[in-house]
Amino acid sequence: MAVLSDRRRETHRRSAGKNAVRHRVARQESLRRGIGHVASETYLITRLAFTLLRYLGIGYRWITQLLALGCYALLLTPGFLQVAYYYFLSNKVKRSIVYGEQPRNRLDLYLPADVSEPKPVLIFVTGGAWIIGYKAWGSLLGLQLAERGIIVACIDYRNFPQGTISDMVNDTSQGISFVISNIANYGGDPNRIYLMGQSAGAHISSCALLEQATRESGKVDSVSWSISQIKAYFGLSGGYNLLDLVDHFHNRGLYRSIFLSIMEGEQSLKKFSPEIKIQDPCLKCSIPDFPPVYLFHGTADYSIPSVASEQFGDALKRAGAKAEVILYEGKTHTDLFLQDPLRGGKDDLFDHVVAIVHSNDSDALAKDATAPPRRRFVPEILLKLARKISPF
């Protein structure tokens, strides 16, 4: 019996040793994949940046903006490093899921700790002046919403000069279709899909929504998703009438010639202006299926003035859609999306979005009411300095 017991112990030790080796190998492999992902993405962004620099040439405004952006990012580095650690090392982040065949047809998923029951899903389209957009820019939003039981899907799309506005809208639409069709495999509820865009991403995603509405109004057979599947649309600090914004952007360093190249010429500005497009009589039959629209904007936003959201909200209402414009007094273009979330604590915009997503879930609302305050990522003095130097 003693010999048998010794054999069992020896077998157990060997099994434990093998399991430890397997876990160590798995961790090493995960780390190698993470490093490889960082390297490939860094190469991509660097290559695109140099292509863009060749395209821009020498210009005082955009060079000073670029320098200010570098200083701004440096001040917020403590927060960015913490979010990057979560992005690359958390097993609740599914990075670079392929949703199409084109370059940068990738998306990231941020999953709550518990997906035993289907969770609501927020599809997020990041900003970046149509030039430097990247899916990882939504990682802070993904982290914080996942803590509230919401799955976040951050869609990447081709930026200029890799693509123009048609490519960006098509990529976004394809990404939305992929999420709607496949999110159940990741614990998401396909009947609770929300769409959100920030800055240029708000423009692109609203264009995708209206383009889809146009397809449906024309009874196109190849429709792969429907605007009726989107429970609500959130536009954050977006611009929706390009005719009104082209000169404004030029004065801020996004030169008219570059902007028109992004938007495929002056003749296309109306086509890609949601404020104008929503007034198209052809869309009248699609308005009953249009999701409620919530437009958030800071009154001290100098990158895209808050009047852009106000005018789009008015156009939506005139067309018969449900729209609400929420203005935040004294908030800048980056306050709402970066400084306030990095500050932690209470955040009116965040609470507003969560309340809408959880509006028909009493259990989730009860958990939200007792949720601990969100943690701070960056000291207040650095946030204040970053706000002053922000080029946006």
Question: Which runs of consecutive H residues, i.e. helices, occur in 218-328?
Answer: 242-251, 256-262, 274-277, 307-319
Q: Which of 139, 173, 177, 199 is catalytic?
A: 199
Query: Span 80-100, mean pLDDT?
Result: 94
Task: State yes or no: is 301 an active-site residue.
Answer: yes
Q: Which residue has the higher pLDDT, 339 or 41?
A: 339
Question: Structural domain of residue 45, as residue ranges?
Answer: 19-56
Residues of the chain with pLDDT > 70, as a percent, come to 83
**Are 38 and 132 in the same domain?**
no
Residue 12, in any domain of the structure: no
**Are 202 and 273 in the same domain?**
yes
Residue 190, in any domain of the structure: yes
Q: Which of 156, 301, 335, 340 is catalytic?
A: 301
**Does residue 4 have a pLDDT over 50?**
no
Overall domain count for the chain:
2
* Euclidean distance between CA atoms 301 and 335, whole angstroms: 9
**Are 51 and 87 in the same domain?**
no
Query: Span 14-41, mean pLDDT?
Result: 56
Report whether the peptide linkage leading into residue 161 is cis, meaning its omega lies within 30 degrees of zero. Answer: yes
> Which residue, chain included where needed, has tokens 């982040």?
93
Check residue 41 and give its pLDDT: 59
Residue type, 266: E
Q: Grade residue 216 by pLDDT with cuts at 50, 70 and 90.
A: confident
Check residue 5 and give its pLDDT: 56
Task: State yes or no: is 37 an active-site residue.
Answer: no
**Are 50 and 63 in the same domain?**
no
**Does residue 47 have a pLDDT over 70?**
no
- Element holding 188 (H helix, E strand): strand 188-198
**Are 109 and 200 in the same domain?**
yes
Query: Span 177-185, mean pLDDT?
Result: 97
Task: State yes or no: is 90 an active-site residue.
Answer: no
**Does residue 119 have a pLDDT over 70?**
yes
List the CATH number of the domain containing 115.
3.40.50.1820
* Euclidean distance between CA atoms 389 and 70, whole angstroms: 10
Q: Looking at 29, 56, 83, which one is the last position of a domain?
A: 56
Residue 218, in any domain of the structure: yes
Q: Grade residue 332 by pLDDT with cuts at 50, 70 and 90.
A: very high
Query: Span 53-81, mean pLDDT?
Result: 74
Q: Who's near 17: CB < 8 A, 6+ residues apart?
A: none
Start-to-end CA span in the chain (Å): 77
Q: Grade residue 226 by pLDDT with cuts at 50, 70 and 90.
A: very high
Check residue 66 and give its pLDDT: 73
**Are 147 and 74 in the same domain?**
yes
Q: What's the farthest any 2 CA atoms get from each other in the chain?
A: 89
Residue 1, in any domain of the structure: no
Check residue 29 and give its pLDDT: 58
Query: Span 337-353, mean pLDDT?
Result: 94
**Are 327 and 377 in the same domain?**
yes
Q: Grade residue 137 by pLDDT with cuts at 50, 70 and 90.
A: very high
Q: Which of 333, 335, 340, 390 is catalytic?
A: 333
DSSP β-ladder status, 106-110 and 151-155:
antiparallel
Residue 52, in any domain of the structure: yes
Residue 262, in any domain of the structure: yes
Residue type, 252: R
**Does residue 336 have a pLDDT over 90?**
yes
Kindly report the pTM of this predicted structure: 0.86
**Does residue 48 have a pLDDT over 70?**
no
- When the pLDDT of each residue in the chain is averaged and rounded to a whole number, the result is 87
Nearest in space to 340 (alpha carbons), one of 198, 240, 156: 198
Q: Which residue has the higher pLDDT, 46 or 354?
A: 354
Give the pLDDT confidence of 243-283 residue by residue, as tens digits: 999 999 988 878 898 899 999 999 999 999 999 999 988 88
> Which residue, chain included where needed, has tokens 């492999």?
29
**Does residue 33 have a pLDDT over 60?**
no
**Are 290 and 366 in the same domain?**
yes
**Are 135 and 260 in the same domain?**
yes
Check residue 285 and give its pLDDT: 85
Residue 99, in any domain of the structure: yes
**Does residue 50 have a pLDDT over 70?**
no
Check residue 68 and give its pLDDT: 80
* Euclidean distance between CA atoms 248 and 246, whole angstroms: 5
Residue 7, in any domain of the structure: no
